[in-house]
Structure 1
């Protein structure tokens, strides 16, 4: 237990350091410590547990304003029966919600919106439930942020009242691999897929304008997982620059989308990318909406990232960089999606990569049928209504309370 708390503390500090300077950490700890004291005292003094409310209050959160939590938040905030608000963990998310006219609480200084937090009936998240903010125990709904082939240790299902999964197949995997309680698993589909489903109906030019990409060339999206870093083979910076040059020579646009946990030299990478007009570095702080990037990309290059399962909906080519399969499928834990479900072109070195990239540009998607088959297995019927199904789960839990 003690070891687990230490690990969670380390992870919290790491995530904080990705967004804000470490010298502010003592002030943040002090702020949250005062909040815990004030929130607990206020909740007990006002006897909020027994007070009836006109509207149920629902909190939504994620590392950035994106993903499944955002999709459900934007769907439910239109319902006058609920008071929905977002808990922002960084400045970008705070401003995004404000611009959209939504209610938002800053995670590290929650006093301003204390009324919402102390009256929260449910917390909906892509990852953490942020229990430190709540003196009571609201209902908890876990949506998670990816369904893919990377091994995981499983989940602590005691932390949530409901876990929404992408399909009947993934529900079965949770039960078989991690002994998940079936009554807590709800097959809703991934709500963020509603965004991609709708983006694919919008003219590409409009989406390009929104993400500020200036040309109409074919677009390659390179989105590796965090363990890989920048590039898996050879010197990562030299090899990535080789790809930048190759794209420029072949009149292609390249978008780099790194995982928030990727360990890279940001200054060096920024300097490298500045040399090329057709290369865009669009990480989450710059463009939180991954679905928008998937919608405009003509080719996806990835490795063991779960991003490919979402990209199946586009019916476009995928190239997988095959790196350390033993590590991803065994040492890390059991994968929710088996590695053989990576339909597309799998390459093992730089030479194979460029050979296959040329083939894909000439022939298009050679694995379209298999990808369509796997999309149904992994994501079920993608119909643009997953957010509505998640909302029903939340409503059911709240009425049960």
Structure 2
């Protein structure tokens, strides 16, 4: 690509952003005089991609309390997602969504808000950021600033200025937020709402998944959940046949493999053998963790969610050098309580040599270093905080 074309593309990009900024600014100003509805909550999950993650569990707790709330969930496509009664959906990036934002008492999100879309919030509106990563292996935000676009950095800094409360599930995460998220506001160490069911309802959710996929109760599940790579347009996997054989032999059980692609590439068409189920479209990854007996992942933070269940995790990092050269990792893989492999052969060896007793000891030591705040009550704590903010009409609670 020549320099003239690159300049032309960049110019077009910034003209588009500026046009969006002016467009949304007009409607922010138009709706600014409208009064805030103290019972309204506007929720967004992964830029409108469905009903899930931390926001889902906060909202479900609020719905249980039956407090006559106006809960608005922003979606990219209304037809794709099912929502419980008590939630109304509005299309994200629509004029209507700006009206909802400007008249809401509470905002809940697990991703950054684009600076050209959420230009500002009223002083009486409270923004709760739940984030989507939790304890993370990959370097992110300010740590990889040189690899981020200027538009994202601008959005991230603008977003952090608007946040009133940032949720955390550990001292480690709280420290990471303070250092790497351009944020110096309040951090609520409630635990992460999405992890409550891992702690409280693991057996029930396992049964739910087994019933959904019509699995025999004697069957064991290994969940393979690779993360997303920038520019990735195909899915590369390990040798599933060898993996299944190794698991069957090691644990003397019959295993089935669940493949969970990252949301950014879940639409990819993949040819899989009959003993591999594509679970990429199952709506809740936490429920899959409850059902799985083993997790295999590469650099995804899902490994630290599985950690709360005390179940084995195997790291399969077959592009480690390339991945770390572009982004880098927060933890040395050798110091994690999970074995890691850079190829199929080593992965199979790690499975064959797995020692549960040693794994549990290493896991407990690692948890102690993180100083976890996960006790299964995060959703309730956040829900009560929201109701208190609404009832007292104050941010400082």
Is the 1:67–1:289 Cα contact (8 Å) retained in structure 2? yes
- CA deviation vs aligned residue, 1:106-134 (integer Å, no higher than 9, x gap): 225564x7864442122111113366666
Structure 1 residue matching 2:264: 3-state secondary structure: coil
Alignment correspondent of 1:387: 379
1:355 has 2:349 as partner: yes
Q: Pick the aligned partner of 1:299 from 294, 302, 315.
A: 294
Counterpart Cα distance in 1 of 2:243 and 2:348? 9
Unaligned runs of at least 5 residues, structure 2? 1-6, 143-155
CA contact (8 A) 1:56 1:82 kept: yes
Aligned pairs (5 A) from 1:151-166: 151-154=139-142, 156=157, 157-166=160-169
Report the equivalent of 1:186. 188
Q: Taking structure 1 as reference, are residues 381 and 84 closer, same or farther at Cα in structure 2, changes over 3 Å only?
A: same
User: Is residue 252 of structure 1 aligned with residue 263 of structure 2?
Assistant: no
Give the count of matched residue pairs: 356
Contact 1:205 / 1:216 at 8 angstroms: preserved in 2?
A: no
For residue 343 of structure 1, give the secondary structure of its aligned residue in structure 2. coil
> Does 2:43 correspond to 1:43?
no
Q: Is the 8 A contact 2:318 2:343 kept in 1?
A: no
1:61-102 alpha-carbon deviations (Å, 9 max, x no partner): 11231111111121223441642221122346x6321x5452
TM-score after normalising by structure 2:
0.74
- Residue 301 of structure 1 and its aligned partner are, at CA, apart by 0.7
Correspondent of 1:124 among 80, 98, 108: 108
Distance change >3 Å, CA 388–CA 246, structure 1 → 2: same
Instruction: Give the CA deviation at 1:317.
Output: 1.1
With structure 1 as the length reference, what TM-score do the two structures score?
Answer: 0.73
Name the stretch that deviates more: 33-42 or 208-217.
33-42
1:278-329, CA deviations, whole angstroms, 9 ceiling, x for partnerless residues?
A: 211111xx21201101001111111111111000111111111234556656
Deviations 1:27-70 (A, max 9, x none): xxx9x8998488447525xx21xx364x3311111123111111
Aligned match of 2:358 = 366
Structure 1 unpaired stretches of 5+: 14-29
CA contact (8 A) 1:43 1:135 kept: no
- 1: CA distance, partners of 2:183 / 2:326: 21
Q: Is the 8 A contact 1:149 1:329 kept in 2?
A: no
Matched, 1:311 2:315: no
Structure 2 counterparts to residues 1-400 of structure 1, below 5 A: 36=24, 39-40=27-28, 42-44=30-32, 47-48=33-34, 51=35, 53=37, 55-63=38-46, 64-79=50-65, 80=67, 82-91=69-78, 95-97=81-83, 99-109=84-94, 111=96, 116-129=100-113, 137=121, 138-146=125-133, 147-154=135-142, 156=157, 157-176=160-179, 180-181=183-184, 183-202=185-204, 204-213=206-215, 216-227=218-229, 236=236, 239-240=239-240, 243=243, 251-262=254-265, 266-267=268-269, 269=270, 272-273=271-272, 275-276=273-274, 278-283=275-280, 286-323=281-318, 325=320, 331-332=326-327, 335=330, 339=333, 342-360=336-354, 363-364=355-356, 366-378=358-370, 380-392=372-384, 394=386, 399-400=393-394
CA contact (8 A) 2:41 2:104 kept: yes
Please say if residues 320 and 345 of structure 1, whose CA atoms lie closer than 8 Å, have aligned partners that are also in contact: yes
Q: 1:34 to 1:170 in 2, by over 3 A?
A: closer
Q: Cα deviations across residues 232-283 of structure 1 (Å, max 9, x unaligned)?
A: 9xxx35735654676789731100011123499x33x2xx21x41x211111
RMSD over equivalenced CA pairs, Å: 4.0
Are the aligned partners of 2:71 and 2:86 in contact in 1 as well (CA < 8 Å)? no
Q: For 1:90 and 1:149, how far apart are their aligned partners in 2?
A: 31
